[in-house]
Amino acid sequence: MIPIKNKLLIFIRKVFRRKTTYFLKEYKKVEKNMHNTTKKDNIIVTPFKFDNSHIFEAIYSRKAILEGVNVYAFLCGQGVNKCEKICIFDKLKKIRCDFCYIEQTEFVRQFGVFPYYLNNELMENDKVLINQTIEDYFQKPEFSNIFMGVNIKTILKSALQRYYLKADPNMDDNHITRGFLNTILSTIIVLDRLCAKVNPKYVLSSHGTYSSWGAIVEYCKNKKIPVVVWGTVYNNGGIYFSNNESCIVDAVFGSDEEWQNKELSTKQESTIKDFLKMRTGQNTRFIFDYNKNQKDQLTREEICKKTGIPERAKIVGMFPNIPWDASIDGSIMGDTVAFNSYLEWLSTTLNYFEKRKDIYLIIRTHPAENDLNSNKETLMDLIYQIYEVLPKNIIILPAESAINSFALGKVSVFGIYYCSTIGMELTYLGVPLVCAGPSPLKNKGIVYDAKSMKEYIDLLERGIRGELVVTNENKNCLLKFGYYHMFTRVMPQTFFEYDDEGGFKNLLFDSEKEIKENKVLDHLYQTINNQGRYSFDKFY
């Protein structure tokens, strides 16, 4: 258990790092415009809470209001006792919730949205229904997991993954599981009431997963209410949009027609090559750059010296994503992936290489594991559940290791990964990759896709024999999909600057007239309103 004093220090640092109060203070200085008084539509935005991660939602809300739209903000209002923002701060819940509520009310006041607070709208009969449903969930084996048309179990799992920071979280009957079930059910009930009241043209939501946003998106999908889901990406804080699905799932299942049959212009090809070159380089700075402290590209000689393996050894690089972070359950992909879960892939891979004493498997822990949260489940935790003592030919590089993924990839005969974007960078560097899970690159002609466990093992065998290569066709597909995924579908962030930690630094405008006339934002607004395709090519 983390001492309460340490939790408080972590909490205070995280609160001030987000600088939400500073953003709201800066927005007060912005010259305000009179909004269009001709009201033509209702929309719902769903920050639920409010902090730096929802600045875009605030600015989009203001744009819609200036265009004559009624914007309703669905907010918690301290109406739930479990959410992803509280997480490990249970004992500090009142302080955390007080901070959050102040931010919510200030957001409402400054941006002119109509608030719809969950705590004000949850009736006594709703609470009775929620309590009974929770009892049925745990006590009745025949309970279908469906509530008002929504599968609450899948949402619950993602919420508990985020809470416990574990790939396979505890879903037993306890106060934490019940707390998140309460949040999910409350969210569905109150959102249903809000939608009935305002009949929204569409709902705008972040994430599309976890307890509140997962419930929001799944409810909208079931009720056939258009929902636009957004999330920030590695392209300098640009914003990815998807319709009626979480951004993570959309990236995997999105239509290939929009990129496969389009040839890149010279400028577009140069843009994606420059992006990939910067991502894999040593001297560039990116927002959300997890490798910022491990930029040096070590040589093979240096890597072998640091790991203690022979210089002529045959190396296979393994590049796992964070075990618990918004991962997609492989079971939803049917027979298109080799494994239904991250843990199944990890165990199978380790057992295979344990028997291949002639090969060194070097596992590069995701650098994002090196953060403040010491309560999370790490890759090492999972591996040491399988092996008390690692076989000598299996080596784990910790998150803070000076050997980064790109250097490891260059000395590997091939690489293995489950579900992440590392496939883009390593393929660009010429490293052949075997993909075992629901990655955005799955079935894109870029990496070697394993569609069954047998095929996965066959690909490992072929890789060891040196039969896997990155072809010109693979590279061509990488450039086309990479440009589409990181540029065409991503709106450049033109409203504020980030600080060194990815938080708010300062606004890039001083009048709301600039919000209304911002060409990028207006293009997005028109695309959403006309249910068009997201295409931001002309802004790069």
* pLDDT tens figures, 85-108: 766 556 667 777 888 898 899 999
Q: Has this prediction a pTM greater than 0.85?
A: yes
Sequence-distant (≥ 6) Cβ neighbours of residue 334 within 8 angstroms: none
User: What is the rounded CA–CA span in Å between residue 238 and residue 509?
Assistant: 17
- Give 6-19 pLDDT, tens digit per residue: 455 445 545 444 45
Q: What is the pLDDT of residue 1?
A: 42
Same fold, 4-30+42-238+492-533 and 269-488: yes
Greatest CA separation found in the chain? 74
The DSSP secondary-structure symbol of 320 reads P
Picking from 480, 409, 437, 433, the residue whose alpha carbon sits closest to that of residue 323 is: 437
Q: At 62, list the tokens.
A: 């203001």
**Domains of the chain: which residue ranges?**
4-30+42-238+492-533, 269-488
Compute the average pLDDT of residues 54-74.
95
Tokens of 160: 């508990």
Q: Give the per-residue pLDDT at 471.
A: 97
Per-residue HEC secondary structure of 10-55 comes to HHHHHHHHHCHHHHHHHHHCCECCCCCCCCCEEEEEEEECCCHHHH
Number of H helices, E strands in the chain: 21, 17
Average pLDDT, the chain: 88
| Chain segment 442-470, per-residue pLDDT in tens | 889 999 999 999 999 999 999 999 999 99
**Rg of the Cα atoms in the chain:** 24
With contact defined as beta carbons under 8 Å apart, do 363 and 397 qualify?
yes
Supply the pLDDT for residue 247.
Answer: 86
> Each residue of 352-365: pLDDT tens digit?
999 999 999 999 99
- Separation CA 253–CA 440 (nearest Å): 8
| CATH of segment(s) 269-488 | 3.40.50.2000
pLDDT bucket at 374, cuts 50 / 70 / 90 = low
User: Average pLDDT of 214-236?
Assistant: 93
**pLDDT confidence of residue 182:** 97
Q: How many CB atoms lie within 10 A of CB 127?
A: 14
CB-based burial label for 110 (10 Å; 0-12, 13-18, 19+): middle
Question: 4-30+42-238+492-533: which CATH architecture?
Answer: 3-Layer(aba) Sandwich (3.40)
Task: Determine the distance from the C-alpha atom of residue 175 to the mean position of all C-alpha atoms in its chain, rounded to a whole number.
Answer: 26
Write down the pLDDT at residue 2. Answer: 46
| pLDDT (0 to 100) of residue 387 | 87
Contacts of residue 465, Cβ cutoff 8 Å, sequence gap at least 6: none
